[in-house]
Chain A
Amino acid sequence: MREIGSKTSIMTGNEAVAEGVRLSKVGFISAYPITPQTTIVEKLAEMVANREISARYVEVESEHSAMAAVFASEIAGVRSYTATSSQGLLYMHEMLHWVAGQRLPIVMSVVNRAIGPPWNIWSDQSDSMNQKDTGWIQVYSESNQEAMDTLIMGYRIAEDSGVMLPFMSMEDAFILSHTSEQVAIPDQELVDEFLPEFRLGFKVDSDRPMGYGSYSTPDGPFMELKKDMMESMWKSANVIKKVTREFSEILGRDYGGLIEEYMTEGAEYILIASGTVASTAKYVAGKLRADGRKVGIIRIRYFRPFPAEDIVRATKDAAHIGVIDRSVSFGSGGTVFNEIRAALYGRSDIPVTGFVAGIGGRDVREEDIEEMINLMAAGKEGTVFINTRGDQ
């Protein structure tokens, strides 16, 4: 990887995200504190106070209000940002639909944290997976660098005239948010070259008075507007690929596309994961390959739009597919597992096993990944909980 026009620093995922917000020249920030998101918004408040970023920061009294405030600032044409986790994200749920339906390209960071009860501040993906139907683009990062870069790319992708959908950028609680890594911070000029100023075509303007989101009867444009959201979401896949390429040209780091393939070439067993669990899985795959076992990993970066085509293509020669889920739909199965099976339906008869792991911050260890591979080799299908106490 080339590192052009950047300085390197050791920082946590949350600090890297805050740097990404600064570099994206966000004009309006509103947020409500929740562990483990807090250090993002504390850092931003500090940047505002020290004039390192020329943004206004409104300290609202809830997450619903945080999303309502950025909804309103964005509709007035100002690039806006918020961040949350867990209960806070659930509390926003109504507003998430509202922002997407109003086609506002807001970018939000979600530091993935479990949902209570019992209270649990550690990492899993239940919070963001619960928002998969809200009309937000959703992306999971694997490193602090990727979290920062994805945020900057997020504004480009979301604000693209063919997309105009909000963008949710995920980061694992503590494993990324509070763990320091080396991060290259690009020069502002390079980011400016990559990310133009925000111009909202339909911003609030008393010379051009409009109603924003009034109501529609069944025969009105309601259904067509929803269909258009679906089409824009599909179109965003190409925009994501294009923007990711441009990012690598200007800023020197290449994230490929919607998924990352690792040793999938000739792999018999392919394990699909997202977030930091994918790093462990890749490490284990490398070890197993050295032992002659043909294991490959797919890391899902973008969960929305769902990379169905990429996954069908990347798995077509596998003998068995495993999916690691850090969230579960009770009475159905792992969220990603269900989507993968739907994507493969009618196009492949490769068996798929769902592994529910790492819920509520439970460690996903090397031996857990190995167990998954062994279960796949043994032909195990259905949904299996990994590393639970007792007889499972």
Chain B
Amino acid sequence: MPTSIPEQELMEPGHTACQGCGATLAMRYVLKALGKKTVVSVPASCWAVIPGAMPNRTLDIPMVYTPFAATGASISGLREALDIRGDSDYNVVGFAGDGGTADIGLQSLSGAMERGHNVFYIMYDNEGYMNTGVQRSGSTPYGAETTTTPVGLDRNFKKQQKKVVADIMMAQGVPYVATATIAYPEDLIRKVQNAKKVNGPKFIQILAPCPTGWYYPPEKTIGVSRMAVQSRMFPLYEYSSGTFRLTRPSKPVTVREYVQSQKRFSHMDEDEIRTLQEEVDRRWESLLEKETH
């Protein structure tokens, strides 16, 4: 079957990610969408390690490593300097995890988006601090067990709902905002390409399942990614020039089915699953409302 996925590979073999790593696919697809004239800034995260130790690179593009909180500011500096050089045709991409985006890097991100630089900010969302051993982030969903939210005797799994950075970016007025996930590469690539048409800041949140931190077998990554959309745990949308478009999953599944696919939720009882389902429904309704406005 022919696909719209570009054949160009900018990721070479030999990366050091875990088997079944969703974040690795996210980078690969983003680079396919953008091509070689791209520079990526990566903060502390799994992706700071995935390309391997010096002098390995894995990626066929310049890659600037930055401290954890610095992604937004670093792409601001790169963009302006490349423009000063006359190299406005470069794509400048910040590629950061959910911790580096929703938590420690939120200020830097928000500043960069507000200033309006012509940059891409890609948040690969594996719903936790994976590089440091699966700790909770603001983007970890309700119910998940992490190493800093251990269930224990007191059922101390994450009690707060997921902080959805893409929603924050829409509220801030970022001209292009989208969500995507690796189970739908054509949708993901199309969104990156649509973003490229926008001269200004663009933000894409890519759900990138992580077998190591979500505790499911590595061969299930694509299935888990797909179920996240089907269960509406991770709705796919695109917001551009004031128009909001929500993707309706073709084969809906329940939140219960989704949480049963991963051991990080295995402690959840019926009430807790219902709480999560209700939040998912509430959010879906509010997204539907956005569409009609």
A: residues with CB less than 8 A from B are: 27-28, 30, 56, 58-62, 64-66, 68-78, 80, 94-95, 98, 204-206, 208-217, 220-221
Question: Does B21 interact with chain A (Cβ within 8 Å)?
Answer: no
B: residues with CB less than 8 A from A are: 36-39, 41, 48-49, 51-57, 59-67, 69-70, 72-78, 80-85, 90, 107-108, 110-111, 114-115
Nearest A residue to B111, CB-CB: A61
Whether A211 touches B81, Cβ cut-off 8 Å, given contacts A60-B73, A68-B70, A72-B74, is no
Give the chain A neighbours of B85 by CB distance below 8 A.
Answer: 76-78
Contact of B63 among A70, A74, A211 (CB under 8 A): A211
Contact A77 B77 (CB under 8 A): no
What distance in Å separates the Cβ of B74 from its nearest Cβ neighbour in chain A?
4
Give the chain B neighbours of A214 by CB distance below 8 A.
Answer: 48, 51-54, 56-57, 63, 65
Whether A212 touches B65, Cβ cut-off 8 Å, given contacts A68-B70, A220-B54, A221-B54, is yes
Contact B62 A68 (CB under 8 A): no
Contact B111 A98 (CB under 8 A): no
Contact of A215 among B39, B48, B67, B111 (CB under 8 A): B48
Contact B84 A28 (CB under 8 A): yes
CA of A210 to CA of B65 in the docked complex: distance in angstroms? 11
Contact A73 B108 (CB under 8 A): no
Contact of B62 among A64, A69, A209 (CB under 8 A): A209
Contact A210 B108 (CB under 8 A): no
Contact B81 A68 (CB under 8 A): no
Closest 5 CB pairs of A and B: A72-B77, A65-B73, A61-B111, A76-B81, A68-B73
Interface of chain B, main secondary structure: mixed
Give the chain A neighbours of B36 by CB distance below 8 A.
Answer: 206
Give the chain B neighbours of A62 by CB distance below 8 A.
Answer: 107-108, 111
Nearest A residue to B80, CB-CB: A56
CA of A209 to CA of B65 in the docked complex: distance in angstroms? 13
Nearest A residue to B48, CB-CB: A215
Nearest B residue to A94, CB-CB: B67
Whether A61 touches B53, Cβ cut-off 8 Å, given contacts A68-B67, A76-B78, is no
Show 30 A/B contacts (Cβ-Cβ < 8 Å), sorted by A. A28-B81, A30-B76, A30-B77, A60-B111, A61-B108, A61-B110, A64-B69, A64-B108, A65-B76, A65-B111, A69-B80, A72-B64, A72-B66, A72-B75, A77-B85, A94-B67, A95-B67, A204-B78, A206-B90, A209-B61, A209-B62, A210-B62, A211-B62, A212-B62, A212-B63, A214-B53, A214-B57, A215-B53, A216-B54, A221-B54
Contact A76 B111 (CB under 8 A): no
Contact B77 A69 (CB under 8 A): yes
CA of A62 to CA of B70 in the docked complex: distance in angstroms? 11
Give the chain B neighbours of A212 by CB distance below 8 A.
Answer: 62-65
What distance in Å separates the Cβ of B93 from its nearest Cβ neighbour in chain A?
12
Give the chain A neighbours of B48 by CB distance below 8 A.
Answer: 214-215
Nearest B residue to A213, CB-CB: B65
Contact B77 A28 (CB under 8 A): yes
What distance in Å separates the Cβ of B241 from its nearest Cβ neighbour in chain A?
25
